[in-house]
Structure 1
């Protein structure tokens, strides 16, 4: 129909595609239609094309096209260095002594700049004679585990394959497959042996990560597309593939409200944020040593999913601070935490799972060559910190989120880890009484007791604030007070953080069993 044809043409035009002009591709007794198409992203990539003269199957023509792909040549890399391989160090030393020999009278009267030029010229001239500058092409990382014997076996295997294909001898081809299988086993064994020896001699400390990266066992920093493409080429490409519709005018946008009516009638009462409210917020941040960066500050309306669905973002008045309008967002990232406007941690869990899967996948690549010590080091440094980070904040995790994280690591109980970090953080809070904006939220029920004696033994019974919502009930203040009331006296009465951690960990492990 005309509508289908126009719809297909519009789709091709909007997507910046090219349709190969085969004309009619499906035939019946009464009509010929343009049913089968082949689309390309660029017409310049089309080579030869044709369709069958007779019908291929069920009224469809056989379509054929050649797709031309220009493989970019790899950019050659060169390094420039001085070749000390055949250097005569004794002669070089004598040449430097003769070139830099100056009397004391000359040294006392010469200008420092001239002296520096004289020194550089003498050193460079001597190095040019005994260690000339050479330019070498980088061919890529060499596989150190491939010995000369393995290289010869690879060449023999290639010759055997070429001879078997040239003569068509099936017995020789079968012999080649056996040799190829044996060669793969030898190559894998040589690679694993090399990596095992390298891991045994791997230095400890911070340099261990550079060593693992050099061996190719962990991924390096992700590169940018600008390392491979020119910025102008990328801009031209994305400018071509964008939609080719003209922008809508203002009258059309205004008419959308009259064309569609909402079945749910709800309204919000908004009040402008005046300078008094802004000043209070700025004073609050200043009192606590914080500084508001307006370039990275956003506004987010927090509420339940039902109320957020009824919210019309376009009708919300802007929040302007120092002439800068704060943009409204549905989620934001603060200190590594992804916070959503419905106060659910699904977005944060999804990002955490991606990081965990990426870390575990990179470790599984060479799982057979890692020693037990290296495995513990890599798991402790790459996987567990993703679960431990900000565990004291993620109190109101749902059972679904905990199950997802539990399946990701599959070794520890996520709830136990979070309880451990919450109690440890609260113990430190009682010891140092900082930060004050958090410690002042905990009010002792019996204010007549000795504050020093109470803090000394941590035997404090805090008042649970009154709450009317599930959000506040799952907050840090109420959760940690309830947790503190359930801990045994010997744990909360610990005199040091080390003793507290040990007793708490043993207690939580007993609760799991």
Structure 2
């Protein structure tokens, strides 16, 4: 897969075909190197990463052999970032969830300084514009989350609701206020077909007819 100057090579194989898989990837890498060299380009070894995706039981049984780039052995990474999405070896999405929730709280820290200057509608629109993209980005890719990961995202959204409403006690349920704002849950796997409805209305205005 090629995106701008970012090339990614994927290959699937059964665990007992690991040696064949690594050999095939090395062959593909060598082909890319030849093509790049013939076109006056060079590959950045320091930015090149390799990762094996497998369940934990399979992964720990593998006799890992490194891929090579220009005779340089590439270490296997525990996690890589693909177009903003963090992918881990066992497809555990804790790094991605942590990144998304961290960005949410980062935006909230900035907005809280301006809270007194903003109307409720302004606060709602700012959350939808600046926060929701972090919660919704690639949400279809990491739908199967553990309960604690869903809770992490849920609490981040609740913090946004409290920022907008501003008068919710600690013991009070936030859900009615979230529904009142027209926002759906961020719980992955609950009803992903409803996730796009959290998109700001300005992106869903139907085209005018003449």
* Structure-2-length-normalised TM-score: 0.56
Who wins on radius of gyration, i.e. which is larger?
1
Which residue of structure 1 aligns with residue 54 of structure 2? 303
Counterpart contact for 1:356–1:386, Cα < 8 Å: yes
Q: Secondary structure at the match of 2:115?
A: coil
After the TM superposition, which of the residue ranges 333-342 and 386-395 deviates more from structure 2? 386-395
Aligned equivalents of 2:25, 2:109: Cα separation in 1: 52
Question: 1:303–1:322: structure 2 CA closer, same or farther, 3 Å change rule?
Answer: same
Kindly state the Cα deviation for residue 316 of structure 1 after the two structures are TM-superposed: 2.6
| Aligned residue runs from structure 1 range 376-455, under 5 A | 376-410=124-158, 411=178, 412-414=184-186, 415=188, 418-420=192-194
Matched, 1:279 2:28: yes
Kindly state the Cα deviation for residue 280 of structure 1 after the two structures are TM-superposed: 9.1
Q: Secondary structure at the match of 1:339?
A: strand
Question: 1:391–1:276: structure 2 CA closer, same or farther, 3 Å change rule?
Answer: closer
- Runs of 5+ in structure 2 lacking a partner? 1-15, 36-41, 159-177, 179-183, 198-203
Q: Secondary structure at the match of 1:274?
A: helix
Counterpart contact for 1:332–1:339, Cα < 8 Å: yes
Question: 1:407–1:340: structure 2 CA closer, same or farther, 3 Å change rule?
Answer: same
Kindly state the Cα deviation for residue 374 of structure 1 after the two structures are TM-superposed: 2.9
Kindly state the Cα deviation for residue 420 of structure 1 after the two structures are TM-superposed: 4.0
Aligned equivalents of 2:66, 2:93: Cα separation in 1: 27
- Runs of 5+ in structure 1 lacking a partner? 1-267, 287-291, 424-496, 500-513
Counterpart contact for 1:300–1:330, Cα < 8 Å: yes
Which residue of structure 2 aligns with residue 363 of structure 1? 111
Kindly state the Cα deviation for residue 324 of structure 1 after the two structures are TM-superposed: 3.6
Deviations 1:259-301 (A, max 9, x none): xxxxxxxxx7752633686339968xx9xxxxx9553331112
How many residue pairs align between the two structures?
151
| Aligned residue runs from structure 1 range 489-508, under 5 A | none
After the TM superposition, which of the residue ranges 299-308 and 326-335 deviates more from structure 2? 299-308
| Aligned residue runs from structure 1 range 172-321, under 5 A | 270-271=18-19, 273-274=22-23, 278-279=27-28, 295=45, 296-310=47-61, 316-321=64-69
* Structure-1-length-normalised TM-score: 0.25
